[in-house]
Structure 1
Amino acid sequence: MGTYPDLPSYVLESGEDLQDVVDKNADELIGKTTITKFNHTKIPYLPKVLSIAKALPLQLHPNKELASQLHSRDPDQFTDPNHKPEIALALSDFEAFCGFKPLKDIQRLMKLPPLQPFLPSVEKPDFDDQTLKHVVKAMLTASDEAIKKTNDALLQLPKEQFGADSYIPELIPRLSKQYDKTDNGTVVALITMNYLRLKKGDSIYIPADGIHAYLSGDIIECMARSNNVLNTGFCPRADRNSIDMFISCLTFTPHSPDECMLPPKTFEKSKNGKTQVYAPPLAEFSVLSTELGDGEEETVEAIGGPSIFIVTGGEGSLKADGKEHKLSEGYIFFVGQGVEMEFRATKGLQIYTAYVE
């Protein structure tokens, strides 16, 4: 949804490209504050709905500096010069690999005999981020045979040897069936990354340079206006980017699963308290979640920048700018800056709104 040129949104009544409508009425719809902040009239975020049946590629998004370099070097593959931090907000049970585990947890797993070939030949007393970098690169460059052998050997170990990571032997067959026992992403994700099981309403934040892979579930995904990605696993070899480039872009900063989470907060412009906000630490966007029961109402006071919302469940109506609009599952609205929104649910309503202010 939005104005990214690869897949732009169109106005239902007129068929016009949304960006053309915005350009003609930029001050009114985007607002001078947002135009000044980003120095353009484009919508600075890109919301998506994803329904994930099998693991999406193990990936990261280059930061602004690198994205600019890659775009100038290969504009066909890297279609813009922007970074792509993002959030994933669960609409259902959702599984994801997100960021690197705490170093002590990775170090504990690396003591398992099948994983020791990936360690540096000269072992340091401390397992630090440079050791992690070596391990990840060794796993990504390992041969098909070495990865298959590692997975087979891990499956032979008693489950208790994995400690708190007992999901590892359960996920190896599942991931191997989706891709192959030779896919390097399986070992990297299971051994070095946080494995998260989220419920509806839970959300994670992925910074630029943050390694991640989504496994299953339905989510709202919102990102800064970019489509740049580097893939390195859970995909055919032909679709993978250079391992050296991937490693050079990656931030090897470990963190706990809790640090991946982005909990919602009360939204100050919610008049009836039915709207929460997911606010990542960046300028381009935040996401609202509005949930109404049958017959309930909510007013979201005017926001100082443009919004895009999607109805993911229920039916009702929207009053805005003196007009009333029907709402139903799958309906998407663009809302210009400075417009108050009044929602009324006839049959429950779940609405997710991306906005900038």
Structure 2
Amino acid sequence: MADGVLQLVCECKHDPWGKQGKDSLAGRLWSHMPGAGELDASETYSEVLSFAKALPLQIHPDKGLAEHLHAVDPKKFGDTNHKPEIAIALSRFESFVGFKPLHQIAELMRLKPLEQFMPTREDFDDGALRQLCETLLSLSPDTVSETITKLQDTPMPQSGDHQHIPSLLDRLNKQYSKFDNGNLVATLLMNYMVVEPGEAVCVPADSIHAYLSGDIIECMARSDNVLNTGFCPRPDRDDVTLFAEALTFKPHSPRDSLLPSKKSAIGLKGRSIEYGPPFSEFNVLGVTLSPTETEKHRVLQSPSILVVTQGSGKMNVGDGTAHDIGEGDVYFAARDAELEMSTKTGLTLYRAYATF
């Protein structure tokens, strides 16, 4: 790493929710790695994230809960950090992120198949939503199935964003069966979001989420802690009461889950955008160059990881060393690396850097 950058050789995971063969962008990018070989059309390739069906319904504990869980069960919860994350869409990206506005949930829960699950409280507030979420996650498989069947025969309210619920239930039933509690929690309580390439979603610590389909660049704080309660085998699910107690209720609308990007002053030629989440661990730069364009980044004074997702070009380092870069290439850059990118045909890359 004499010139301040080091090319990394990465593996690709094969989770069952991943896309198969060449349909997986993660797989296609990985196939450019040295020694990767041909993609297997029958194999799933999942990370860098490409997914054809819903990932587990999950939250990542905040620092206080992470410290407690690590002390109680260090084998399962291997660190004491939180894990807020962002997801930048590389293709059309569908997800369930955070809870719907309370009035929309209350309206849905007045439907005949659902009214029995509504908490007996005077006001439907976040406390009642916590109780409702725990109730739905605790239903027996037969009750889940019966409720879904009745819902599919029930007209949805015309107000609010409810018309997609029957089709989403049908998709999730085919992926995880009518017996999965996650079907009810995701479609009834959570924001269903669709974002296009270049747009991003932000998931704070303790925020409920389940990504549904697409290809994304995901960046997160340094932790592996997770609590799962749906869209996974029942033996792999965590304690529902613990899950419900850990929930946070911000954001509470799809608009607030979007992470805007802005032009970054780090890009000295004005061709870099920056995704800056509202927490201190990292930011992500996105660089898109048309043919013959160049971009130069000022020295970050922070370590960074660079991933090329499309096209090819050159990366010049401050000492005059040049690297040919192309799809699937991953580099680590030292804190004092001075980088300049150029292309003859077009180039897209993302650069995540530490901000603490």
TM-score scaled to structure 1, two decimals? Answer: 0.85
Instruction: Give the drift of 1:12.
Output: 5.2
Query: 2:202 touches 2:257 (CA, 8 Å); kept in 1?
Result: yes
Cross-structure match for 1:107: 106
1:264 to 261, 264, 284: 261
Alignment-derived partner of residue 353 in structure 1 = 351
Are the equivalent residues in 1 in contact too, given 2:7–2:331 (CA < 8 A)? no
Distance 1:273 1:211, change over 3 A: same
Q: What code does the residue aligned with 2:266 have?
A: K
Do the aligned partners of residues 211 and 12 (structure 1) sit closer, same or farther apart at CA in structure 2, a change above 3 Å counting? closer
Task: Provide, for residues 134-182 of structure 1, a one-character-per-residue CA deviation record: whole Å limited to 9, x for no partner.
Answer: 1111100011111111110110013555752101001111101100101
The equivalent of 1:66 in structure 2 is 65
Name the counterpart of 1:192: 189
Residue in 2 that maps onto 1:24: none
Q: Secondary structure at the match of 1:268?
A: coil
Which of residues 164, 168, 171 is equivalent to 1:167? 164
- 2:324 aligned partner, one-letter code: K
- The Cα RMSD (Å) is 1.5
Quote the residue 2:144 is aligned against.
Answer: 147
Paired residues, number: 312
One-letter amino acid of the counterpart of residue 191, structure 2: N
> Runs in 1 of length 4+ with deviation above 6 angstroms?
none
Residue 310 in structure 1 maps to residue 283 in structure 2: no
Deviation, 1:346, is: 2.0
Q: 2 CA distance for matches of 1:249 and 1:106?
A: 20
Residue number in structure 2 paired with 1:225? 222
Q: Which residue of 2 aligns with 1:244?
A: 241
1:52 maps to amino acid: F
Is contact 1:109–1:162 with CA below 8 Å preserved after alignment? no
Q: Which amino acid aligns with 1:320?
A: V
Match of 2:291 among 290, 294, 298: 294
Residue 51 of structure 2: aligned partner: 52
Once residues 154 and 302 of structure 2 are traced to their aligned partners in structure 1, the CA distance between those partners, rounded to angstroms, is 55
In the aligned structure 2, how far is the partner of 1:123 from the partner of 1:159? 24
Q: Distance in 2 between matches of 1:224 and 1:253?
A: 18
Kindly provide the amino acid, as one letter, of the partner of residue 342 in structure 2: R
Change (3 A) 1:162 1:56: farther
Q: 5+ unaligned residues in a row in structure 2: which ranges?
A: 1-5, 10-46
Deviations 1:169-202 (A, max 9, x none): 0111110110010100010111111100010011
Please tell me whether the aligned partners of residues 318 and 325 of structure 1 are also in contact (alpha carbons under 8 angstroms): yes
For the residue of structure 1 that corresponds to 2:137, the secondary structure is helix
1:279 paired to 2:276: yes
SS in 2 for 1:165: coil
Correspondence for 2:336: 338
- Name the SS for the 2:344 alignment partner: strand
The structure 2 residue matched to 1:207, chosen from 188, 204, 209, is: 204
**One-letter amino acid matched to 2:181:** N
Quote the Cα distance in structure 2 between the aligned partners of 1:254 and 1:110: 20
Paired residue type of 1:110: M
| Letter of the 1:224 counterpart | A
Kept after mapping to 2: 8 A contact 1:60/1:211: yes
Question: C-alpha displacement at 1:338, in angstroms?
Answer: 2.0
CA offset digits 1:180-235 (Å, max 9, x no partner): 10100010111111100010011011100100000000000000011110000011
Q: CA 1:152–1:70 in 2, change beyond 3 Å: closer, same or farther?
A: same
Higher helix share: 1
The corresponding residue for 2:97 is 98
Alpha-carbon distance between aligned partners in 1 of 2:223 and 2:161, rounded to the nearest angstrom: 36
Q: Aligned with 1:290: secondary structure?
A: strand
What amino acid sits opposite 2:285 in the alignment? L
CA distance in 2, matches of 1:316, 1:195: 37
Name the residue aligned to 1:36.
Answer: none
8 Å CA contact 2:8–2:330 kept in 1: the answer is no
1:346 is paired with a residue whose SS is: coil
- Cα displacement string for residues 281-316 of structure 1 (whole angstroms, at most 9, x for unaligned residues): 111100010000111101111102001010000010
Aligned ranges 1:5-154 → 2 under 5 Å: 49-120=48-119, 122-124=120-122, 126-154=123-151
Q: Structure 1 unaligned runs (5+)?
A: 1-9, 14-47
Residues 103 and 254, structure 1, Cα contact 8 Å, conserved in 2: no
SS of 2:48's equivalent in the other structure is: strand
Deviations 1:213-272, CA, capped at 9 Å, x for gaps: 000000000000111100000111011001111111111345111100001011012111
